[in-house]
Structure 1
Amino acid sequence: MKNINCMFTKSWNDLKNHFQEIKNIHLKHLFSIDNNRFEKFSIKFKDEMLIDFSKNRITEETIKKLINLANETKLKDGIQSMFSGDKINKTENRSVLHIALRNRTNYKIIVDNTNIMTEINIVLKKMKDFSKLVINGQWKGYSGKAISDIVNIGIGGSDLGPYMVTEALRPYKNHLNMHYVSNIDGTHLSEVFKKVDPETTLFLIASKTFTTEETMTNANSAKTWMLYYFKNKNFLDKHFIALSSNIENVLKFGINIKNIFPFWEWVGGRFSLWSSVGLSIILSIGFHNFEKFLDGAHAMDNHFYETDFNKNIPVLLALISIWYTNFFRSETEAMLPYDQYMHRLPAYFQQANMESNGKSIDRNGNKILYDTGPIIWGEPGTNGQHAFYQLIHQGTKLIPCDFIAPIISHNKLGKHHLKLISNFLAQTRALAFGQTRDDLMKDLHFLQDTNKDIKKILNFKICQGNQPTNSILIRKITPYNLGSLIALYEHKIFVQGYILNLFSFDQWGVEIGKKLAQNIYSHLNNNSNNEYYDVSTQGLIKFYKFFS
Structure 2
Amino acid sequence: MKLRCDLTPTWPLLQSHYTAQGSHLDLRQAFERDADRFAHFSQSAPHVFADLSKNLWDRDTEALLLELAAVCGLEQHRDAMQGGQPINTTENRAVLHTLLRRPAGMSLPGDVPETAARLADVHSTLNAMLQYAEQVRGDAAITDVVNIGIGGSDLGPHMAVRALEEFRAPGKRFHFVSNVDGHELHHVLKAVRPESTLFLVASKTFTTAETMTNARSALAWFAAQGGRDVARHFAALTTNIEAAAALGITTTFGFWDWVGGRYSLWSAIGLPIAIAIGAQGFRDFLAGAHAMDEHFRTAPLAQNLPVRMGLLDLWYRNFHGFTSRCVAPYHAALTRYAAYLQQLEMESNGKRVGLDGRALACTTSPVIWGEPGTNGQHAFFQMLHQGCDVLPLEIVAVRKASHPLPGHQQKLLANALAQAQALMVGKASEDGHRHFPGNRPSTLLLLDSLTPASLGALIALQEHRVFVSGSLWGINSFDQWGVELGKVLAKDIEARLESGDVAGLDGSTAGLLGLLRDGDGWTA
TM-score normalised according to structure 1 size: 0.92
- Gapped regions of structure 2 (runs ≥ 5): none
Q: Deviations over 1:450-491 (max 9, x none)?
A: xxxxx6xx1211111111111111100011101000000000
- Kindly provide the amino acid, as one letter, of the partner of residue 152 in structure 2: G
* Correspondence for 1:142: none
* Correspondence for 1:186: 182
* Correspondence for 2:139: 137
Q: Deviations over 1:230-275 (max 9, x none)?
A: 476xx1101110101122322223211xx01011100100010000
Is the 8 Å Cα contact of residues 297 and 486 (structure 1) preserved in structure 2? yes
- Kindly provide the amino acid, as one letter, of the partner of residue 344 in structure 1: R
1:160-175 aligned at under 5 Å gives the runs 160-174=155-169, 175=171
- Kindly provide the amino acid, as one letter, of the partner of residue 119 in structure 1: D
Counterpart of 1:546 (choices 507, 518, 522) is 518
Tell me, what secondary structure is at the counterpart of 2:225?
Answer: helix
- Number of residue pairs matched? 515
Counterpart of 1:509 (choices 478, 482, 494) is 482
Tell me, what secondary structure is at the counterpart of 1:429?
Answer: helix
1:206-221 aligned at under 5 Å gives the runs 206-221=202-217
Is the 8 Å Cα contact of residues 290 and 457 (structure 2) preserved in structure 1? yes
Tell me, what secondary structure is at the counterpart of 1:286?
Answer: helix
Provide the rounded CA distance (Å) in 1 between the counterparts of 2:495 and 2:65. Answer: 51
1:284 aligns with 2:276: yes
Shift of 1:412: 3.0
Distance 1:113 1:434, change over 3 A: closer
Distance 1:231 1:178, change over 3 A: closer
Provide the rounded CA distance (Å) in 2 between the counterparts of 1:228 and 1:284. Answer: 28
1:153-302 aligned at under 5 Å gives the runs 153-174=148-169, 175-230=171-226, 235-256=229-250, 259-302=251-294
Q: Deviations over 1:400-450 (max 9, x none)?
A: 11111100010131211101111101110111111113xxxxxxxxxxxxx
* Correspondence for 1:451: none
* Correspondence for 1:34: 34
Is the 8 Å Cα contact of residues 105 and 116 (structure 2) preserved in structure 1? no
Q: Deviations over 1:502-534 (max 9, x none)?
A: 000000000000000000011112x24112210
* Correspondence for 1:317: 309
Shift of 1:127: 1.2
1:337 aligns with 2:332: no
Tell me, what secondary structure is at the counterpart of 2:479?
Answer: coil
Is the 8 Å Cα contact of residues 426 and 436 (structure 2) preserved in structure 1? yes
Provide the rounded CA distance (Å) in 1 between the counterparts of 2:463 and 2:473. Answer: 16
- Kindly provide the amino acid, as one letter, of the partner of residue 133 in structure 2: S
Is the 8 Å Cα contact of residues 104 and 120 (structure 2) preserved in structure 1? no
Structure showing greater radius of gyration is 1
1:468 aligns with 2:441: yes
> After alignment, is 245-254 or 122-131 more displaced?
245-254
- Kindly provide the amino acid, as one letter, of the partner of residue 304 in structure 2: N
Q: Deviations over 1:332-370 (max 9, x none)?
A: 011110000001000000011000000001001110121
Provide the rounded CA distance (Å) in 2 between the counterparts of 1:358 and 1:231. Answer: 44
Is the 8 Å Cα contact of residues 205 and 238 (structure 2) preserved in structure 1? yes
Provide the rounded CA distance (Å) in 2 between the counterparts of 1:25 and 1:483. Answer: 35
* Correspondence for 2:470: 497
Tell me, what secondary structure is at the counterpart of 1:360?
Answer: coil
Is the 8 Å Cα contact of residues 3 and 363 (structure 1) preserved in structure 2? no
Counterpart of 2:320 (choices 328, 334, 341) is 328
1:373-388 aligned at under 5 Å gives the runs 373-388=365-380
Provide the rounded CA distance (Å) in 2 between the counterparts of 1:486 and 1:49. Answer: 11
1:120 aligns with 2:122: yes
Tell me, what secondary structure is at the counterpart of 2:368?
Answer: strand
Counterpart of 2:339 (choices 341, 347, 372) is 347
- Kindly provide the amino acid, as one letter, of the partner of residue 450 in structure 2: I
* Correspondence for 1:416: 408
Is the 8 Å Cα contact of residues 3 and 364 (structure 1) preserved in structure 2? no
Provide the rounded CA distance (Å) in 1 between the counterparts of 2:123 and 2:470. Answer: 30
> After alignment, is 383-392 or 242-251 more displaced?
242-251
Provide the rounded CA distance (Å) in 2 between the counterparts of 1:181 and 1:113. Answer: 34
Provide the rounded CA distance (Å) in 2 between the counterparts of 1:278 and 1:397. Answer: 38
Is the 8 Å Cα contact of residues 334 and 402 (structure 1) preserved in structure 2? yes
Counterpart of 1:397 (choices 389, 396, 415) is 389
Provide the rounded CA distance (Å) in 2 between the counterparts of 1:96 and 1:334. Answer: 28
- Kindly provide the amino acid, as one letter, of the partner of residue 269 in structure 1: G
- Gapped regions of structure 1 (runs ≥ 5): 139-145, 438-454
Provide the rounded CA distance (Å) in 1 between the counterparts of 2:513 and 2:441. Answer: 46
